[in-house]
Amino acid sequence: MLRVAFRLHASRLRPLRCFHFSARRFAQPDVLTSLEASPIVQAVSRRMRRRSELQSQLSETLNSPEDKDRMKQISMLEPLRNAWEEWENTRNLLKETTLLLEDPDPSMRSLAGEEYSELVSKLSTMAQEKFPSLLVPPSETSHLSAMIEIKAGVGGSESALFVSDMIRMYTAVAGHMGWKAVVTGKNENENGGMKDAVLEVKGEKAYDTLRWESGVHRVQRVPATETSGRVHTSTVAVLVLPLEEDSGQEVKDDLFTMDQVRIEVMRSRGAGGQHVNKTESAVRLTHIPTGITVSMQDERSQHQNRRKAFQVLRARLMDRKLSQETVDRRDMRRSLVKSADRSEKVRTYNYTQDRVTDHRLGMSIMNIDSVMDGEALQEFLTELGRKHQEELLEDAALS
Amino acid sequence: MATTLLRKQALSQLSRALGSEQATVELKWMLRSLEQPDRLVADSLSAMVARRVSGEPLQYILGTQPFGPLDLLTRPPVLIPRPETEDWAIRLAEFVKPTMRAPIQLLDLCTGSGCIPLLLCKTWPAGTVRARGIDISAEAIALAKDNAARCGIPSSSSKPTASHELTAAHNTFDALQADIRLPGFLASLKSSGIRPRFDVITSNPPYIPRDQYEQLPTSVKDYEDIRALLGDPDLLPPQGKKSLSDSGRGLTFYHDIAKLVAHEQEGLLTTKGILAVEVGEGQAKDVAAILKTEGGLQYTSIWTDPWNIERVVVASRK
């Protein structure tokens, strides 16, 4: 940087000559103009204008509530402002270096040429990497674990068999990712399938990575029970909910208050107490403001079912909050959001063609076992995560 | 692992006995306990189902029952912890707040599996409670001791190890076999070295009236100890003790408990102490009256269980 600064000084001594060669310079494609016109750089520039506005709106005393809010916004833009200053410095250097490209002294021209390409590459790195990383705020949900609810859909017992297959698939991928997966609830049917199951996946970024699994998964294969060899199409519905670490307490948080939740026991016990020793532990919670109900009867005690039911209620409310935030933030036409309506078919597992296709990515993997054993599923998860990041960036570039 | 066919068979047998909905959840719990690596049950699925179909309580077959944060052992004929008791024990754990600076003495009469004092010991902060459980049954005392060990609650007499001496803060539980109805009960407590003054007394005494006892489901009547259920023990055929005016209504033990706490200086309950007793359907108001008139506990309140039945009378002098 220092070296450049010195030569900048020199360039000011020769303004007229540069002017003389200006026609040739403009004939070249103007890298800087196209960089500056990129949506990302425009977005950063808009945020900087917004920052100046905020600063000019600050009162002298700096202690009104509005001031607090403005200061907060300003400080949140601080990392971006530092990058922007660097961008502007580099841009100014580039402008001046451009002039030197036409210097009559050949050695000066060659030095300027080197300098020029360094600066251009620095600017494009900033536009393509640094700005995007600063424009998209870091995920606020990266600490959350995931609760994967899987339900058999169309296709009866064949669909239930695929629920078991998917539980194995997600358990395997959790192993690859270093997460801990536990089946916390399941309703098995008589054929070794599951009508529904719940898998808890605990670990860093588990929810962020798995959340795009929500939706309808379609399986096409010849069922084990099918004698004629006909291919059946069945579906399984997956819902991935955000899960906070269970602290063991019915913690208070901003998702609900206890007086908003109606707790009901499910059946009459007659006289109850010593008169009855039948295990009736089912519990139902109703979150009155939203009408969300959670019924739980997996466990053998009231206390356990209640605790689990609260965990599910918290996950549902968190999911609702996150979806609402997503909708508030971005345009509904974008693909991942559309799939957030959860009735959309997201993936097809075609056994006869040995192929798994993700419909949102338009991407197929031609080895079904590698997906089902979790290895290749990671490719889909990575791509979906990348797509999400790209969409967030597009949003940021538009705002 | 049970085969598909075995499961199908198990489900249909259980369904005939329990109805399909209950059969489905109970089968799930049986399979789950068979899957556990450290399982207590030695039975196969078909043996479990046969026992269940013959009317044995599921909790005895599985060998455990979750109770609040605890996972308690269940063994015949000791009374199986009930969800109503779980509910009020959790509530009591929040209602009374002992601290290290003001630790309390707790007495549980008719302790059975030890569920109530063990839940309190587990829930309250370490070093805040010293609990005693009394029961007439040797099987209950043995089970309560096993449960204390299972829950990691030491006895007050257990020799502190070197590390414990430094951090003496433990909640302790001791189980003692005694008949609370005998006139010498208070004296026997003293002679076993227990200072008979308690800040909190809990009890889930037998409260089922004689006529209702005859109507109980077989899973209760044929498997659980009559001494934990029948609230009119004096009407048992061989013994012929004098009976109270309300005999036949299952209230005998409440009269006895009232007598034990009646004397403010000499009785079991400290001046500011709290008594919480579980009651049967329709007994709460009678029990509150007994505690007031015979026990001198002027302040009583009634707690309702999750099924909307008056289940607990909480009483104190002030």
Beta strands A194-202 and A261-265, pairing class: unpaired
Phi, psi of A83, rounded to the nearest 5 degrees:
-65, -40
pLDDT of residue B295: 96
Q: Which ipTM score applies to this complex?
A: 0.92
C-alpha distance from residue B144 to each of A273, B115, B154, B187, B197 (Å): 20, 8, 12, 23, 22
Name the residue facing A303 among B22, B68, B208 (closest C-beta).
B68
Q: Which of A191, A272, A299 is facing B281, going by the closest CB pair?
A: A272
Contact B203, B181 (CB under 8 A): no
Q: How many CB pairs under 8 A join A and B?
A: 102
Task: Residue B224: list chain A partners with CB under 8 A.
Answer: 277
* A275 chain-B contacts, CB cut-off 8 A: 208, 212, 216, 220, 280-281
In chain A, which residue's Cα lies nearest the Cα of B7? A190
Q: How far is B264 from chain A (nearest CA, A)?
A: 31
B71 contacts chain A (CB < 8 A):
no
pTM of the prediction? Answer: 0.76
Tokens 């009407």 correspond to B235
Tens digits of per-residue pLDDT, A348-395? 999 999 999 999 999 999 999 999 999 999 999 999 999 988 888 887
CB B194 within 8 A of CB B132: yes
Average confidence (pLDDT) per 10 residues, chain A, 399 residues: 35 37 47 86 92 87 83 89 93 89 87 90 91 85 92 91 96 96 87 90 94 94 82 93 67 78 86 93 94 92 93 91 74 48 85 95 94 95 91 80
Contact B112, B78 (CB under 8 A): yes
Whether A362 and chain B come into contact, CB under 8 Å, resolves to no
Q: Tell me which CATH code domain A145-352 carries.
A: 3.30.70.1660
A237 vs A257: CA distance, rounded Å:
30
Closest residue of chain B to A300, computed from CA coordinates: B66
Write out chain A in H/E/C secondary structure: CHHHHHHHHHHCCCHHHHHHCHHHHHHCCCHHHHHHHCHHHHHHHHHHHHHHHHHHHCCCCCCCHHHHHHHHHHHHCHHHHHHHHHHHHHHHHHHHHHHHCCCCCHHHHHHHHHHHHHHHHHHHHHHHHHHHHHHCCCCCCCCCEEEEEEEECCCHHHHHHHHHHHHHHHHHHHHHHCCEEEEEEEEECCCCCEEEEEEEEECCCHHHHHHHHCEEEEEEECCCCCCCCCCEEEEEEEEEEEECCCCCCCCCECCECHHHEEEEECCCCCCCHHHCCCCCCCEEEEECCCCEEEEECCCCCHHHHHHHHHHHHHHHHHHHHHHHHHHHHCCCCCHHHHHCCCCCEEEEEECCCCEEEECCCCEEECCHHHHHCCCCHHHHHHHHHHHHHHHHHHHHHHC
d(CA A105, CA A111): 10
| Backbone Cα Rg of chain A | 29
Per-residue DSSP letter, B40:
S
* d(CA B86, nearest CA chain A) in Å: 8
Q: State whether residue B255 is helix, strand or coil.
A: helix
Identify the pLDDT of residue A143.
87
Name the one residue in this structure whose structure tokens are 């698939």: A169
**Residue length, chain B?**
318
> B81: helix, coil or strand?
coil
- Taking the C-alpha atoms of residue A195 and residue A153, their distance in angstroms, rounded to an integer, is 9
- For chain B, residues classed under CATH 3.40.50.150 are 83-157+165-316
Q: Which long-range contacts (CB under 8 A, 24 or more apart) does A361-370 make?
A: A361/A387
CB contacts, 8 Å: B278 with chain A? 273
Summarised one tens digit per residue, pLDDT across range B255-302 is 999 999 998 888 999 999 999 999 999 999 999 999 999 999 999 999
Report residues of chain B scoring pLDDT below 50: 162-167, 238-240
Amino acid at A335: S
Using CA of residue B140, residue B221, residue B28, residue A215, what is the dihedral sign?
A: negative
- Omega within 30 of 0 (cis) for the link into B77: yes
CA distance A47 to chain B (A): 52
Q: What angle do CA B25, B10, B79 make, to 5 degrees?
A: 55
The pLDDT value recorded for residue A182 is: 93
Closest Cα in chain B to A269: B307
Q: Are A187 and B28 inside 8 Å of each other by CB?
A: yes
Residue B309 carries which DSSP code? Answer: -
B184: which DSSP letter? T
CA distance B186 to B257: 12
**What is the nearest CA distance from A283 to chain B, expressed in angstroms?**
10
| Cβ atoms B245, A301 nearer than 8 A | no
pLDDT of residue A15: 35
What is the residue extent of each domain of chain A?
16-135, 145-352
Residue A206: phi and psi, rounded to 5, are -60, -45
Pick from B14, B21, B28, B225 the residue to mutate for testing the A interface (most A CBs within 10 Å).
B28
> The tokens of A133 are what?
């990383």
Which residue in chain A has the smallest CA separation from B278? Answer: A273
Q: Which residues of A touch B307 (CB under 8 A)?
A: 265, 268-269, 272
Q: Does the CB of A301 have a partner CB in chain B at under 8 Å?
A: yes
Minimal Cα–Cα distance from A296 to chain B, Å? 11
The distance of A49 to chain B (nearest Cα, Å) reads 56
B3 touches chain A (CB under 8 A): no
| Residue B65 sits at the chain A interface (C-beta within 8 Å) | yes
What pLDDT is attached to residue A189?
82
Instruction: List Cβ neighbours of A70 (8 Å cut-off, separation of 6 or more).
Output: A54, A55, A57, A58
Put simply, the answer to whether A279 touches B280 (Cβ < 8 Å) is no
* Pair of tokens at residue A57: 């709106």
Query: B111, B173 in Cβ contact below 8 A?
Result: no
Q: Which of residues 151-190 of A touch B (CB under 8 A)?
A: 187-188, 190
Q: How far is B139 from chain A (nearest CA, A)?
A: 18
Helix A39-57 and helix A377-398, axial crossing angle in degrees, nearest 10: 50
The Cα B287–Cα B41 span in angstroms is 40
Rg of the Cα atoms in chain B: 21
Given a contact cutoff of 8 angstroms between Cβ atoms, the answer to whether B66 and B52 are in contact is: no
**Structure tokens given for A189:** 């049917």
Q: Rounded to 5 degrees, what are φ and ψ at A202?
A: -105, 135
The highest-level CATH class for domain B83-157+165-316 is alpha beta
